[in-house]
Structure formats: C-alpha cells, structure tokens
Chains A and B, each alone.
Chain A
C-alpha cells in the first residue's frame, strides 16, 4: 500500500514549507528528485544557451558569414524555449497568487 506513504510525504513537505526554521534542514533532503528550483535553474540555463546560439548566428549573418537557414532555425529554437519558460513562469506566478489569496 503506497497511498498512505505518499500522503505522509505530502504532509511532511507541506510542514517543511510552512516551517521556515526547518527549510535549511530540508534543503539537504534530496530523496524526492530535483527540486523545482533546480528544474527552473536548468530551464533558464537552457534558454540562455540557446539564445546565445541564436545571437551568435544573427551576428554571423550580419557579418555575411552565416546561412539564413541556420539563423532561422536557431531563432525558432530560442523562441520555443523562451515561450515554454514564460508559460511556466506565468503558471507558477498565478499559482502563487492563488495561494496568497487564500483566506486564512
């Protein structure tokens, strides 16, 4: 039976989130895979990398060295990455606002 343990984990993580003193202790607890912060950091890193690539391609094209096709694909890739990240950010912020509106 795994359901009670999942519920217990959820309660424990909720307790950790609501307890500021315990947050330092929970930071070292990596049993539940990568945290959301790590996930976000990785995503931003990927977006940054792909935007650098498309910038380099655009500069090369301006200098007359790159193929227009390479520029277009690099920019499209960056656009997709940025769009996905922005969508996730909006969703996270709306969730945060939803929680802040919660009557206590």
Chain B
C-alpha cells in the first residue's frame, strides 16, 4: 500500500537524520579535544553525508546516511606554552569545530526530523480516515 510505503520512506529520513545528529554530537563533544602528543593533530570535525538509494522492496528512492567525511579546514591555534600538547613554539592546535555552526546544523537536523515525522503522521491519519469510511 502506498501509505505504508510513504511511512517507510519517511522512516528512512528519520534514520538518516539520527545519523547526522550522532555526527553533530560527536563534533560538539570533541570541540576541545586537543592532541595526545605534543605538536600532534587534534580531533578533526566530521561532516555528515546523505545518499539517495533505490529500495527494491519499496520501489522508491530512500535516503541513507552515507557516513562521515573529515572537514579539511584549518585547526584553531592557541598560544598555551604550559599545555601538554603544545608544540615547540608553545602553540596548541584545537579542533576545527565551531559551536555556532554545529548548533545551526543541529537545528537543521531537528527540523528535517520533524518534517519526516509530520509525513508519517499525515500518512497515518489518511489511512485512519479511509478505514473510518467502513465504520460509518
């Protein structure tokens, strides 16, 4: 049935957004994770990717979480000579995570999740309303 299919497609969106949320959580949690060795590289920000995939059983294109890609932008440099991960010049590399960007990304994931939930709710209500024709 088409309504069941649309619920399944929206559910794939939910799963994908949950994966994106996990990536954002990882970025925010590691926002201050510096290197373990002096002069080494700290945590590198991850970017969530999505892929469109054909689901044979549903005969529709669903979205899947396509894994994470590293963000190639530069690390933040801070002059902290006493820090255990400082290099020879006293500079410490901090992750290239910007909490403002992560917050907007999180808001976006939240809104996409809600949009998919609304699709599920609307499909469900349409099915229920159709079945109610039998009851009247």
Contact = CB atoms under 8 A, between A and B. Distances in A.
Interface of A: 67, 69-70, 72-73, 76-77, 80, 83-84, 87-88, 90-91
B131 interface: yes
Contacts of B15: 67, 69
A69 B131 contact: no
B28 interface: no
B120 interface: yes
How many of chain B's residues touch chain A, expressed as a range?
Answer: 10 to 19
A76 B131 contact: no
Contact of A84 (B8, B120, B131): B131
21 contacts: A67-B15, A69-B14, A69-B18, A70-B11, A72-B11, A72-B120, A76-B7, A77-B4, A80-B4, A80-B124, A80-B128, A83-B128, A83-B131, A84-B134, A87-B131, A87-B132, A87-B134, A87-B135, A88-B134, A90-B134, A91-B135
Q: Which 5 A-B pairs have the closest CB atoms?
A: A87-B134, A73-B11, A69-B14, A69-B11, A83-B131
A53 to B, nearest CB: 12
A87 B130 CA distance: 11
B37 interface: no
Contacts of A72: 11, 120
A60 B46 CA distance: 30
Interface string B14-28: 110010000000000
Given A76-B7, A76-B124, 17 more contacts: A67-B15, A67-B18, A69-B18, A72-B11, A72-B120, A73-B7, A73-B11, A77-B4, A77-B7, A80-B4, A80-B124, A80-B127, A80-B128, A83-B127, A87-B132, A90-B135, A91-B135
